[in-house]
Amino acid sequence: MNWIAMGLAVAMSQAAPAGPLDDGVLTMDEAVTVALTEGFTVQRAQQATARAEAQSRAAEAALGVSASFSGSYAWFDGTAGLTTGGGSFGGTTGGTRQDGGTGDTGGGSRVNTFNQLVVSASKVFDISGRIRAGIRATDWFVEASKVGEAVAANGVRGDVRSAYLQALRAQELVVIQLAVRTSIAERLDKTKVMFDAGSVPQFDVLRLENTLVQADRNLVDAQLAADLAKRSLMNLMGMDDETSFDLQAPAAMTDALAEDSALVQRALKERPELDATSAQIQAYLALEDQAKTLYAPTLALSAQQTYIVGTGGSSDSKSTLALINLSIPLYDSGSSRANRDAARANTVDAEISKGQLSLGIVLQVRAALSNLNSARASLVLAENSLTLAREALRLANLRYDEGAGLLVDVLVAINDERAAAAGVADARFAQRLALAELQRALGTDELTPEATEPPAPAPAADANPNGNQS
């Protein structure tokens, strides 16, 4: 039985797809994928689309038929305070109260009850086009909301990548600080041996022990900063997971970038914000058309069927009411014109926003390209500085071991190497972040030049019977 259970467990583990953090490593692509499905920003954008679709259905329902049913029960006592034979009004003698009998006794009356059922229906005829214009507006707002989901997704990708890269830099700083701590500990062990041999003073041992304590504190601070950065990343992903995991550096981009002008045109084509603004402009145009119909006539048709169910011997009755309502506006003190002007102003404002957005996108692309080029140059300089710092540390340790150098030179060289390594991490982070910002500005991850079609072959020349080309 145990072997069967183990076999089922192994089979289920092999069949289940591996998710993020299952292997203890979270890649940037996995983080983006989780954020696009679990993140709150995308979910709210989806709810905005659902709300816009509900408003569109409500606008379409205005052209449909509406029907209602109502019922009522009435009870009336007509004998309260009456007498039947010479008694005074409200007296206590000489009168009898009737409660539904069929005969008449004195001046009293019977208790009246009846039931009423009403069925009504109404239909609005959009002869002015006002309702249809409103429906078009809501449809375009739905389209804008759907594109808004793509806008939210592009923003989420950029935010998650930025948070991921910040957490990755914090993780790399932990590695750097751990290497510094290891270097100091090794130096301390060697110095203790040299002190036992009488070649160095005790001050050097004490100085290195104090430096090691400081390195331990710096390592703890770096680990706390890395943990906080990872938690910020998990918040953007919409996850609350206490699992410990590592981040994997993204692969370096090896392909050449497209030309700057080509990237700008790609951004103007791919950015979803421009499509969302275009849809909003169409919606405002529809609202502008709706505002122009405020002086147009309206027509409505309604019908009502009433049934009265008699009781106590009375007969049933029914009645039918049909109504055609034609309304023609004559004067509204300029309210309609003001509404038309306000609708037109909304359209113009949306068109201005689209032009401003286009210029802003161009600026974002060019700024990202400039930052990327600057980050590449800074990374080359930082890597060269790290090479020099490591060589200086090697020489300082060698001179100290030979008794020709001072401990302070070694400590300075250790700090210089740490600073140079941190500079490389910062420069690498800046380059990766600039690349992520370029992808956000473009609205796509495609950065390489588009494949150009091969030129069409030249038409073959016809040969004449003599073998010469004609």
State the CATH number of the domain containing residue 224: 1.20.1600.10
- pLDDT reading at 55 higher than 60: yes
Q: What is the average pLDDT across 212-234?
A: 94
pLDDT at 424: 95
Evaluate whether residue 457 is within a structural domain: no
What band does 238 get if pLDDT is binned at 50, 70 and 90?
Answer: confident
- Please give the average per-residue pLDDT across 455-469, as a whole number: 46
- The residue-averaged pLDDT of 282-295 equals 85
Q: How far is CA 129 from its chain centroid?
A: 35
Tell me what the pLDDT averaged over the chain comes to. 82
Could you tell me which residues are beta bridge partners of residue 306?
A: 118, 319
Residue 35's nearest CA partner among 154, 146, 148 is 154
Q: Read off the pLDDT of each residue in 32-52 and give the average, rounded to a whole number.
A: 90
Is 43 within a domain? yes
> Could you tell me the end-to-end alpha-carbon distance of the chain, in angstroms, rounded to an integer?
89
pTM of the predicted model over 0.85? no
- Range(s) of the domain holding residue 174: 26-68+125-297+335-442
Alpha-carbon distance of 374 to 377, in angstroms, equals 5
Please give the pLDDT value at position 188. Answer: 93
Total domain count for the chain?
1
Q: For residues 339 and 152, is the Cβ–Cβ distance under 8 A?
A: no
The answer to whether position 424 is within a domain reads: yes
- Environment class of 255 (CB within 10 Å of its CB; exposed 0-12, middle 13-18, buried 19+): exposed
The reported pLDDT for the residue numbered 457 is 54
Residue 464 in this model has a pLDDT that exceeds 80: no
CA nearest 207: which of 188, 194, 193, 189?
A: 188
Which pLDDT does position 101 carry in this prediction?
45
The pLDDT of residue 349 is 93
Residue 229 has pLDDT above 80, yes or no: yes
CA distance 259 to 306: 77
Checking if the pLDDT of 82 tops 70, the result is no
- Does position 98 have pLDDT exceeding 50, yes or no? no
In a domain? residue 363: yes
The count of C-alpha atoms lying within 13 angstroms of the C-alpha of 90, restricted to the half-sphere facing its C-beta, is: 0
Q: What's the angle, vertex CA 114, arms to CA 111 and CA 117, rounded to 5?
A: 170
**Whether residue 465 has pLDDT greater than 90:** no
Is 100 inside a domain boundary?
A: no
| 311 domain residue, yes or no | no
For 329, list phi and psi in degrees, rounded to 5: -65, 140
CB distance 290 to 347 below 8 Å: no
Picking from 232-236, 442-446, 448-452, which range would have the lowest pLDDT averaged per residue?
448-452
Q: What is the pLDDT of residue 244?
A: 81
Cβ–Cβ under 8 Å, residues 248 and 31: no
Instruction: Examine residue 263 and state whether it is found in any structural domain, yes or no.
Output: yes
Cβ–Cβ under 8 Å, residues 234 and 163: no
Q: What pLDDT score does 38 carry?
A: 87
Q: How confident is the model at residue 111 (pLDDT cuts 50, 70, 90)?
A: low
**What is the band of 10 on the pLDDT scale with cuts at 50, 70, 90?**
very low
Look at residue 90 and tell me if it is in a domain.
no
User: Residue 234 pLDDT more than 80?
Assistant: yes
Pairing of strands 317-327, 65-77: unpaired
Would the pLDDT of 351 be above 80?
Answer: yes
* Sheet of strand 317-327: strand arrangement: 65-77, 111-125, 298-310, 317-327
pLDDT at residue 88, as a whole number: 40
CA distance 427 to 14: 41
Both tokens of residue 171? 């993780």
d(CA 91, CA 95): 8
User: What are the structure tokens assigned to 324, written together?
Assistant: 């055609």
CA–CA separation, 345 and 367 (whole Å): 32
Highest mean pLDDT among 294-303, 309-318, 437-446: 437-446
Per-residue pLDDT at 259 exceeds 80 = yes
Looking at the DSSP assignment, which residues form a beta bridge with residue 71?
A: 117
Mean pLDDT on 47-76: 86
- The band of 392, judged by pLDDT with boundaries at 50, 70 and 90, is very high
Per-residue pLDDT, averaged over 9-14, amounts to: 42
Asked if 447 and 439 touch (Cβ cutoff 8 Å), the reply is: yes
Amino acid identity for residue 421 in this structure: A
